[in-house]
Structure 1
Amino acid sequence: MDRKMSPHSALVHLLQQGSMSFPVMLFTEYKRLGLTEGQVMLLLQMMVFEEKEETPFPTVSQLEERMDASGDQIMAWLQSLVQGGFLTIEESVNEEGIRSERYCTAPFLQQLAASYLDRDPEEPDESVEKAYENLFQRFEREFGRPLSPMECETLTQWLDEDKHSEPLIISALREAVFCGKLSFRYIDRILLEWQQNEIQTPEEAVEYSRKFRNKGILYQTRNPREETEDTFSFYNWVKG
C-alpha cells in the first residue's frame, strides 16, 4: 500500500479487498474431526492466501508472519494435516513446462461434510409429543368435545411460544374448571398471571395463591391480549 495515501483512500483500498466467507460447519465440526484451533487457523490463512492474494502455496515464513506460532509449529501442523488427509499438495505444469505446487483444502471440506452427515439424525422428542397428546386428551375430556383448530393452535402456542410446562397448563385447566370458567380465554389469563409472577410449578402456584387468600384478597389481572379485567380465586389442584 502506498504510504502517501490519505487515511480515507487507504481505508477504501482495504475495503476493496473484500471479505472471506467460511462454512459454518468449519466451526461446528472441526472438534469432531480432531483438529486444534491452531490447525484450523492455519487452514483459514491458507484459504485467504489462495482466494484473496492468489498465493496458492504460501511459504512457512509467510504463514509465520500472520500467526502466533513458530515456523516449526506451523511445519508440524502442515505435516499433520497432510497425514490426516485434510490437506494435499498438488503439482501442475503450465504451457511453458514450468512446474508449480499448490495447497488444496478440498479434502478438509470433504471431511467437514462427511462429519456433518454422519451425525445421528435428530430423533423426535417423545416427551414433547407425549405432552401434546396428553394435553389434547385432557382438554377434550374436560370440555366434553373435540377442540377447534383455533383451540389446538392456542395449546401449541402455550407450549412452543409461551414455554408453559405441561403440568402448569393442566393446573390452569383445573383452576378454570373449579372456578366455573372453562374457556381458553380464562385459562390464558391464569397462565399469563403466573408467568408475570414467575410461577413455574403447581406447587409454587398454590403457595402464591395462599398468600393472597391469607390477605383476604382475590387475584386480579389485566390480560394485554384482551384489555379486560377479571377476578379469580385459586383451588388447591395439587392435592385435589
Structure 2
Amino acid sequence: MDRKISPHSALVDVLQQGSISFPVLLFTEYKRLGLNEGQVMLLLHILLFNEKEGITFPTISQLEERMSVKGDRIIQWLQVLVRKGFLSIEETLDDGGLRSEQYSSAPLLQQLAASYLDRESIKPDDTVEEAYDNLFQLFEREFGRPLSPMECETLTQWLDEDGHPEVLIVAALREAVFCGKLSCRYIDRILLEWQRNGIQTPEEAVEYSRKFRQSGILYQSDPIRRKGERSEEFSLYNWVKQGS
C-alpha cells in the first residue's frame, strides 16, 4: 500500500522540479511592444518546453493541452509572433542528415533590449558641449571602438548642418543596433526617412520604426554619399518575407 504524501511534501516535490529562466523585461515591456497577455503566456510555454523538456518545436496539440485557448487561436498568435519578429523558426540538421525545425527566442530578446534602450536619451539640461561628448561616447560604446574621423564628421554634420535632435540620433542608433546594421551610413538613412515623415520625438520614431518592422520591412542603406550630397533616388526599404 502506497504511503500517503502530505500536502507539504507534495508541494516540496513540485518546487524541486525547478524553474525556467525568462527575461524580466518581458513583463515590463510587452505592453509597449504591442503584445497581449495570451501571446506572452504562449512565449513562456515555448520557453518551458525548450528549457525543461528539451522540446524545441512543440506542436499545436502540446501547446493546446496546457493553455486555456483553442488551437486556432494558438496558431493565430504564433503567426503574429513570427510576423512581428518576436519568434523565428529555424531549420536544423543533425549528424544523420535529418532536418527539423525549432523556435528561437533570440528575436524576442532583441526587441526587448531595443524597447528598453529606447527609453534612454541625452538629458535635456546638458550643455551643448556635454551633449556632444555624451553622443560621441554613446556611439563609441555601441560600436565597440573609437570612431573614425569620417564618422566623427558625420555625427557633427547631423547636429550642425542637418539639425537632427540629439535624442533622434540616439533613437536612430538604437534602431540600427536592433536591425544588426551598425554603421553611420545606415543611421543616416534612418534619420533621413524620419525627417521626411515629420518624426520629431523618440516616441514617434519608435512607433514609426516598429510599424515597418512588423510589416517585414527593413531600412535599406545605399553607397556612402560624398560630403554635402544626398542621393534623391534610393530604395529606402527592403521587403522581407516573414515566415509564419
TM-score by length of structure 2 reads 0.46
TM-score, normalised by the number of residues in structure 1: 0.47
Bigger-Rg structure (1/2) = 1
- Structure with the greater relative contact order (CA < 8 A, sep ≥ 6): 1 or 2? 2
